[in-house]
Chain A
Amino acid sequence: MAASETTVKLERVSKSFGEFTAVRELSLDVRAGRVFGLLGPNGAGKTTTIRMIVNITAPDSGTILLFGRHIDADLQDRIGYLPEERGLYRRMRVADQLRFFAEIKNMRGKKVDAKIDEWLARVKLSEWKNKRSMELSKGMQQKIQFITAVIHDPDVLILDEPFSGLDPVNVELLKEIVLDLKRAGKTIIFSTHQMEVAEKICDDICLLNRSQKVFEGSLRDIKRSFGRNAVAVRCEGGDGVLDDPALVSKVVRHADEAQALLAAGADAQTLLKRLIDSGAVIGKFEMMEPSLNDIFITKVTEPA
Chain B
Amino acid sequence: MKKFLSVVRREYIQRVRTKMFIVSTVLLPAVMSLFVVVPALILSIETPPMRVAVVDQTGRMYSQIRQSLSNEQAEPDAQNANAGPQRMPRRSFSKFVMEEVSAGSQSLDQIRASLDQRLQSRELDGYVILPPDFLSQGKAEFVNRNPGDLFSTRVLQSAINRAAREQRLVDAKVDTQTRQELFKPVELQSVKIGTGGQEPESGGGSFALVFGIGFVMYLAILMYGQIVLGAVIEEKETRIAEILFSSVKPFALMMGKLVGVSLVALTQLAIWGLAFSVFALYGVGILASQGTRANIPSIPFSHYIYFGLFFLLGYFIYATIYALVGSMVTTAQEGGQLAMPIILILVVSFYLFWPVSRSPDSPFSFWVSMIPFTAPVAMLVRIVTQTPPFWQIALSLLIGFSSVLLIMWVAARIYRVGMLMYGKRASIPEAIRWARQA
Interface set of A (CB-CB < 8 Å, partner B)? 51, 54-56, 73, 76-77, 79, 81-83, 85-92, 96, 100-101, 103-106, 108, 145, 148-149
Contact in complex: B240, A88 (CB < 8 Å): yes
Nearest-neighbour CB distance to chain B for A100, whole angstroms, equals 5
**Complex formed: what's the CA distance from A218 to B245 in Å?**
31
Q: Would A104 and B7 be within 8 Å (CB), given that A85-B422, A89-B14, A89-B234 are in contact?
A: yes
Q: Would A56 and B239 be within 8 Å (CB), given that A85-B422, A90-B234 are in contact?
A: no
In the complex, the 7 A-B pairs of residues with the closest C-beta atoms, listed nearest first: A87-B238, A85-B239, A103-B6, A83-B242, A87-B239, A54-B246, A104-B247
Q: Which residues of B contact A88 (CB under 8 A)?
A: 238, 240
Q: List 9 A-B contacts (CB under 8 A).
A: A81-B243, A81-B246, A85-B422, A86-B239, A86-B243, A87-B240, A89-B14, A89-B234, A91-B14
With an 8 Å Cβ cutoff, the count of chain B residues facing the other chain is: 22
CB proximity to A under 8 Å, residues B404-438: 420, 422
Closest to A83 in B: B242
CB-contact partner of B3 in A55, A85, A106, A148, under 8 A: A106
Contact in complex: A56, B7 (CB < 8 Å): no
Contact in complex: A100, B242 (CB < 8 Å): no
Q: Which residues of B contact A106 (CB under 8 A)?
A: 2-3
Q: Told that A104-B3, A148-B243 touch, could you supply 6 new A-B pairs with CB distance under 8 A? A: A76-B247, A83-B242, A86-B240, A87-B237, A96-B14, A145-B243
Encode contact with A along B1-17: 1 for CB under 8 Å, 0 otherwise: 01100110010001000
Q: Would A104 and B244 be within 8 Å (CB), given that A89-B234, A90-B234, A92-B14 are in contact?
A: yes
Q: Which residues of B contact A105 (CB under 8 A)?
A: 247
Contact in complex: A85, B242 (CB < 8 Å): yes
**Complex formed: what's the CA distance from A16 to B420 in Å?**
15
Q: Which residues of B contact A86 (CB under 8 A)?
A: 239-240, 242-243
Q: Which residues of A contact B339 (CB under 8 A)?
A: none
CB proximity to A under 8 Å, residues B107-161: none
Contact in complex: B248, A104 (CB < 8 Å): yes
> Among A79, A83, A86, A104, which residue has the most Cβ atoms of chain B within 10 A?
A104
Nearest-neighbour CB distance to chain B for A101, whole angstroms, equals 7
Encode contact with A along B236-274: 1 for CB under 8 Å, 0 otherwise: 011110111111110000000000000000000000000
Q: Which residues of A contact B420 (CB under 8 A)?
A: 51, 56
**Complex formed: what's the CA distance from A88 to B2 in Å?**
21
**Complex formed: what's the CA distance from A73 to B251 in Å?**
14
**Complex formed: what's the CA distance from A194 to B403 in Å?**
50
Q: Which residues of A contact B248 (CB under 8 A)?
A: 104
Nearest-neighbour CB distance to chain B for A37, whole angstroms, equals 20
**Complex formed: what's the CA distance from A97 to B402 in Å?**
35
**Complex formed: what's the CA distance from A83 to B14 in Å?**
24
Q: Would A76 and B238 be within 8 Å (CB), given that A100-B6, A103-B6 are in contact?
A: no
Q: Would A89 and B6 be within 8 Å (CB), given that A76-B246, A79-B246, A81-B246 are in contact?
A: no
Closest to A92 in B: B14
Q: Which residues of A contact B242 (CB under 8 A)?
A: 51, 56, 81, 83, 85-86
Closest to A87 in B: B238
Closest to A160 in B: B242
> Among A82, A87, A89, A148, which residue has the most Cβ atoms of chain B within 10 A?
A87
Contact in complex: B239, A103 (CB < 8 Å): no
Contact in complex: B238, A103 (CB < 8 Å): no
Nearest-neighbour CB distance to chain A for B248, whole angstroms, equals 5
Q: Which residues of B contact A91 (CB under 8 A)?
A: 14, 18
Q: Which residues of A contact B14 (CB under 8 A)?
A: 89, 91-92, 96
Nearest-neighbour CB distance to chain A for B422, whole angstroms, equals 6
Q: Which residues of B contact A81 (CB under 8 A)?
A: 242-243, 246
Nearest-neighbour CB distance to chain B for A171, whole angstroms, equals 21
Q: Which residues of B contact A101 (CB under 8 A)?
A: 243, 247
Q: Which residues of B contact A145 (CB under 8 A)?
A: 243
